[in-house]
Structure 1
């Protein structure tokens, strides 16, 4: 989430008038995230999130994202729901952008995840994968393996502005991933961006999952690998095997990873680290200086990628490596 497009009081008031939500009381921009413009909106009937979809989002994907939230909610996943306007629409225009209102979920995201967080996350991720079955719409992963090299080509000449040696690290790893990427793993709907700021807790209980705007069809185990990267490293990018073990335990308690998925996990984790290294590098170099958005340091994913390169087996994610 972020703010790229400014919305005036009058514009938003007219927009809210199209919904049965009472009068607009207040709104403010949300700086977290990198993809769309988001505002926290208060009306006389409640609190909502307003999302304006920026240029990097294909408008043709919006029915997938919004329909998926309704489908998952129907399958027992606690997630936001798109709000229908007075004419039954969930998509409208605001400030020259496609825009939607979604319901607000209570809870706090864990800024310093603990073992109980990753255990609950693993269970919730598996439930989400199961609930995604039967969703009629399809969306390819635009930031999957096939998209990594073209993205790298967009900024490869500027990698030294981020850190020394980054060009060769990425180039070498891309060659490895392109020849080693696992095939024929179980496929389904994945979240593809399940970072701590997209998961809410109340006390020790997971209260909801948000931000489905990277969701797509891909290998289910790749979603687990993304979470290993996003949740199981500390502030210094040192891997915590207790968190990783709890994540895998929680997932397996709901949906058992197959032998093929287990064997593929180290490569999938390297791929997940590469995906976020690439997108964070691109955004680091190209985010407008006047955007109300928190840039995320790509260097974190250099260290995570290097860790995964040392892993030989999924069991290594539950035990401290000594090498």
Structure 2
């Protein structure tokens, strides 16, 4: 995670005191690009180890953050490997740190591991199937991915001439579809999972979650997990992930998935073009737009037949 809002030891110690923890050590997380995240070693009031994560939100305000936190609590109660926000002594699951909204959560076990094999693809497919079958009735209204796509469409002019017309038509056709009603993660890249002894131990970063088609969520995931370094789809990985997804109760419209794969590739190409590295950030910064330019070329060619 790129850190846009550096915090001192004293600042973090004060934050943790409001929850009854004592700060021992911390470091900035190194994955992701949207918020400032700190991995914290602490002790609870019984002097027991308490690994924590503090996220400071760089774009969401307190009101926008509320439905996401309710979602995390809802999913944690359904035994998904999702961290639920902690409440401070005042009963709040949101606080303000350095003038920005912030949330403290338990740090679930496991580590980032970016290796990909067929077994991991099968685990990801099974996890998505579980998520997509979650009851959405208790949820608060989440932001609409179609609104994000509408904003990103203002960057279509940045695409190369040979792709601009086709990308514009593709996005227009997708936006004309009615919105789906399935809960989706919307950002299940490899840096949003933790692993422990070869098994998924945590699913992170639900701040792109919304209601839409499960095929769109699958497309976002397949475009990260199931392509090679040139953006070319790896059929064996795709097959493993989708077979597991179906085995655990997920349903897939193959023609809709084909279109969603191109739309999802375009979405992240545009978002990377729209998000240059901040001069104030410490760490990873924005990712390379050309990665998704290559994936888009494969996906749009497959869609064209």
> After TM superposition, is the score higher than 0.5?
yes
SS in 1 for 2:72: helix
The 3 A distance-change label for structure 1 pair 16 and 256 is closer
Q: How many residues align?
A: 299
Contact map agreement 1:140 1:218 (CA 8 A) in 2: no
Match of 1:162 in 2: none
Q: CA deviation at 1:153?
A: 2.7
The 3 A distance-change label for structure 1 pair 180 and 211 is closer
Match of 1:250 in 2: 244
SS in 2 for 1:82: coil
Cα separation, 2, equivalents of 1:113 and 1:36: 25
Q: CA deviation at 1:2?
A: 2.4
User: Are 2:116 and 1:126 equivalent residues in the alignment?
Assistant: no
Cα separation, 1, equivalents of 2:39 and 2:52: 6
Give the one of 269, 272, 277 matched to 2:269: 277
User: Are 2:96 and 1:106 equivalent residues in the alignment?
Assistant: no
Contact map agreement 1:145 1:178 (CA 8 A) in 2: no
Can you list the C-alpha shifts for 1:257-307, whole angstroms capped at 9, x where unaligned?
Answer: 15xx32211111111001100111112xx3222311323111111111111
1:60-139 mapped onto 2 (5 Å cutoff) = 60-139=63-142
Match of 1:240 in 2: 234
1:1-323 mapped onto 2 (5 Å cutoff) = 1-21=1-21, 23-45=22-44, 46-54=50-58, 56-141=59-144, 144-153=145-154, 156=157, 159=158, 166-180=160-174, 183-184=177-178, 186-258=180-252, 261-283=253-275, 286-294=276-284, 295-312=286-303
SS in 1 for 2:239: helix
Cα separation, 1, equivalents of 2:235 and 2:2: 32
Contact map agreement 2:70 2:139 (CA 8 A) in 1: no
Q: CA deviation at 1:312?
A: 4.7
Runs of 4+ in 1 over 4 A off after TM superposition: none
Q: CA deviation at 1:219?
A: 1.6
RMSD of aligned C-alpha atoms?
A: 2.2
Structure 1 stretches lacking a partner, 5+ long: 160-164, 314-322
The 3 A distance-change label for structure 1 pair 293 and 152 is farther
Q: CA deviation at 1:110?
A: 3.0
Cα separation, 1, equivalents of 2:68 and 2:250: 26
Cα separation, 2, equivalents of 1:298 and 1:154: 12
Q: CA deviation at 1:112?
A: 2.5
SS in 2 for 1:28: strand
Structure 2 stretches lacking a partner, 5+ long: 45-49
Match of 1:317 in 2: none
Contact map agreement 1:189 1:217 (CA 8 A) in 2: yes
Contact map agreement 1:148 1:278 (CA 8 A) in 2: no
Q: CA deviation at 1:134?
A: 2.6
Contact map agreement 1:193 1:214 (CA 8 A) in 2: yes
Contact map agreement 1:81 1:103 (CA 8 A) in 2: yes
Cα separation, 2, equivalents of 1:227 and 1:241: 14
Cα separation, 2, equivalents of 1:182 and 1:263: 16
TM-score normalised over the length of structure 2:
0.90
Can you list the C-alpha shifts for 1:46-86, whole angstroms capped at 9, x where unaligned?
Answer: 111100111x2243221111111110111120111211111
Cα separation, 2, equivalents of 1:11 and 1:177: 44
Cα separation, 1, equivalents of 2:209 and 2:107: 19
